Structures are given as C-alpha cells and as structure tokens.
Amino acid sequence: MNSRFIFSWKTLQRTWSDWRGSDGLPGISPDLPEEERDTVTKLLNECVAARHGAVTARQHAAGIGELYLTLNATGRRHFLEILADQFAVDQDQVREVSHRLAHSDDDETFRQQVLELREALISPRQQLLQQFNALPQGVKFLIDMRAELLGFLHDSPNLKRLDYDLQQLLATWFDVGFLRVKQLDWQSPAALLEKLMAYEAVHAISSWRDMRHRLEWDRQCYAFFHPVLPGEPLIFIEIALVKGLASSIQSLLDDQREDVDPQQADTAIFYSISNAQTGLKGISFGPFLIKKVVDSLSHSLPNLKTFSTLSPIPGFRRWLEKRLADNGSQHDKDSFATVLAEAAQLLDVAPTLAHVIDDPRWLENSEVCDLLKEPLLTLCARYLHERRERDSAPLDPVARFHLGNGARIEQLNWLGDVSSKGMRESCGLMINYLYALDDIKDNIEAYSQEKQIAAAPRIRKLISEHEPKLGPLSGLRKWGNRKGKGSA
C-alpha cells in the first residue's frame, strides 16, 4: 500500500494472516497475469458466498486483503478490474424484482417486493467490502485501496462503478456525526505530528523547527478524527492569530516574526486546510471542521472579530495562459501582451508570461512590479468569477470550497506567495476568503441555489471598472455595507 498506511503492509499482512488462520494463500504472481485471474475470481466468489457464516466470511476477506497486499501496481489494477466487472449487481434479478414490484396487487406484496429490490441492488462487491469493517485496520485498508483506485481511473474508466461503491460505503462510515475534533499542539504524540508533516498539502512543513513554529502560542491546529482511526487525522486546519488580515504567506510563516499575544489578536487566519486521506476524496469534512473551529475560537478568544483564510489560487496562471493563447478576447491579448512586452524588455527576456514570471529577478524590479500589478490583479478577480460550463460553479477549486461554505471574496494580495509554487500556480497572488459570521447562512443559500458569488465592495469595484473591456459577468452576489461580527 502507499506510504501513508497506518502500519507497514508487511505488518498488516502478518496481522491478517494470524487473524485468518493457518490456510495458506494461493501462489499469485505480483502482476496478476491473465492465466491467474480465474483463481482470484474463485476466491472472491467464496468470500461473497459466506456459506459458513459471518466469521468465516471475514476470514476469507482477510485472505483477499492479504493477497491484494502481495500484488504490485499492475496486479492491483487487474484485481480491482475483476471486482468491478464481475461482481456488480445481477441485472436480470433486478429486472425480475422490479417487474414484480410494478405489478404488486396489494400493500403487503408491494412492501415485500421493495425489500427484495433493496437486497437485489446490493452488489456482491459491496457485500465483500463491508466485511473489512470488522478486520483490524480494515477501514484504513479500504481508504488506501480507494486512493490507489483513483490513480487507475484514467486508464481504467470501468473502475468508476467500483469507486462509486467504495465512496458511498466510506461516506456512511465517516458521517460527520462520528467524527471528533481535537486541538493538536507540541505535546501531541510525535507519530501524529509526523503525519501532519507528511500530509500537509498547501505549505510544506520543512523541518521539526518549522513544525514547532506552527504550534506556537499564537498558532493553533485542529484535526478531525474517527474512532476507528484514532491516530490518523482525516483533515486538519492550521491557524495563525494576528492583528488584521494577513496578506503574505512568507511573512505569516516566518519564524523570526514577532509573536502576537492571542488575547490581543483580533483575527484568525486559516492558512492551510489539508485533506489527509486521498481515499476519502469526495467526502466533505471541511465545512464542519471550519464551523467547529470558529465556534471553539469564538468561545475561547472572544476578542477575535475576523475569521479569514489566506488561500492559494491554484488555477489562475493556467487559466491566464490559456486565455491569452486561444480563448481570450483580442483586447486581452493586445493589452496584456503590451504589458508583458514592456516587462520582458526591462528583464531582457522573451515577451511571454512564462519567461517573465519564471524569472526571479522581476520580484526585485519595481518597474516590472508596477507594470504587472494592476492587470494581474484585475485578471485574477475576473478569473475568480469565471464559471464551469457543466454546473456554473467557479473554475477555481479553492473558491468553490470556501464560497460553498459561506465565505466571501474579501481581498486579493499582490505577491502574497513568492515561492516557486506560488509563481507556478497564481503568478504570486493569494486571496483572503472572509467568514463573516452574520452572513454565512445567506451566502450559502445564495451560492447553493444560484451559484451567486459573494465579494467585498473592493473586489466588485475592481471587476466593474473593467467589465466594459472584458465583458459582463453574471451571478455576482449583491453586498451591502453590513458590519456584523466577522467583518473586516
């Protein structure tokens, strides 16, 4: 399994081998060649049949899981394809039961046929997957197996049906009502802190010194845990307590910066939200964690008035390059090309976005910065309001997350992330999404129903000034001058 597995795969193999009993596994090659797949199919059928009761079925499941762990990536893909293709629902049975249901003459018969239809819709592979819930670390095994499956989807689209079954099963087990929020600090177990370092997906934790700095008295970290995985964070959020909106991630993470007394801070900055388990993709924990953290901070630090993120804008540069190449208006191309040409001339590089932005000298050149600042901020504001065709949601994934949770676009930050990743993703820009507590509910409703985007007046002004040139936008959320708790 992948390196994030709670135990090494060899340890898990030994655990399941002891639990399963003395029966040996059949000799299966790591890449599961075609001539050996019938053997695996037979083992899966025996497990699903469960002729000798639940305990025997789970012992069979342990054997199946142990066999899976002996396979390499190619063998695991073949294994999952067998599970997807040969252990789906029995279509003939579903049609037969549906026919009887449609022709039921009385209420009792109708109710009975409904029950039979529900049973018929549970696929054999779902029955098998459910057996792992009772195995030692079986749930974590399924999480990691789905993480691998997601990596196979591009080349094996037939696995989508199996992925759907796994996601639905895990969503049931990981209902937010089962989860517990814990605050982590420097006294938390070292093994847990190591996992935070490994799972951090937004701003890499470079060392134990960096880890300790992120857990100082003006920093906080909260994570969601599930009772069956007490040592495995599902998602965690890192927070800095500051005065006013933070605009630069480098300044915020600088271990030489002056600490802020939490009792004097007026703003909580959520600067990193990381999903720790790839196999739980599509199962949303973030909104609930943010709400619980805000509630906790509001209670423990009543002086906090503003709750905001300092977030990346991961798709901006890619969108801008595409727009300039083939999808932008002629005005976009001509005006921004002129700016790039001037900046490139000052740097003595080719007049392209890549040559200018990827040259680190531009950050130290005030003339280049002055040339690029206004057009990049304007185009970024525009990007944040661009929509996907299929559902009219914002193009940017981080925007979709926070706007869907009731935040508003508050502030764009020039040179907010000057790291190579920041330049590669967003030309160095970052954004603050503000969680104004009095407005979250209304924002969620407006976004969920009509995909309206809440934005601060300064952002709306930036967009409206350039609408005649760039074209009109729809779905902007009207915003008053309310200053409830949480307003900037």
In whole angstroms, give the CA distance from residue 71 to residue 32: 7
Looking up tokens 């280049």 gives: 368
Residue type, 217: W
Burial class (CB in 10 A: 0-12, 13-18, 19+), 484: exposed
DSSP 405: T
The partner residues of 432 in beta bridges, in order of sequence, read: 411
Q: What angle do CA 324, 328, 329 make, to 5 degrees?
A: 125
Contact 375, 354 (CB under 8 A): no
203 is catalytic: no
Distance, CA of 479 to CA of 460 (rounded, Å): 9
How far apart CA 43 and CA 28 sit, in angstroms, is: 12
Residue type, 182: K
Q: 311, 355, 420, 448: which is the annotated catalytic residue?
A: 311
Q: Which of 402, 420, 426, 448 is catalytic?
A: 402
Residue that the structure tokens 């964690």 belong to: 289
CA distances from 17 to 5, 10, 206, 482 (A): 18, 10, 38, 63
For residues 477 and 450, give the distance between their C-alpha atoms in angstroms, rounded to a whole number. Answer: 10
Q: Decide if 125 contacts 87 (C-beta within 8 A).
A: yes
Whole-angstrom Cα distance, residue 233 to residue 221? 11
Percent of the chain as helix, strand, coil, to the nearest 5: 55, 10, 35
Judge contact between 354 and 295, C-beta under 8 A. no
What is the spatial distance between Cα 290 and Cα 313, in angstroms, rounded to a whole number? 19
Q: Is residue 402 annotated as a catalytic residue, yes or no?
A: yes
- Catalytically active residues are 311, 402
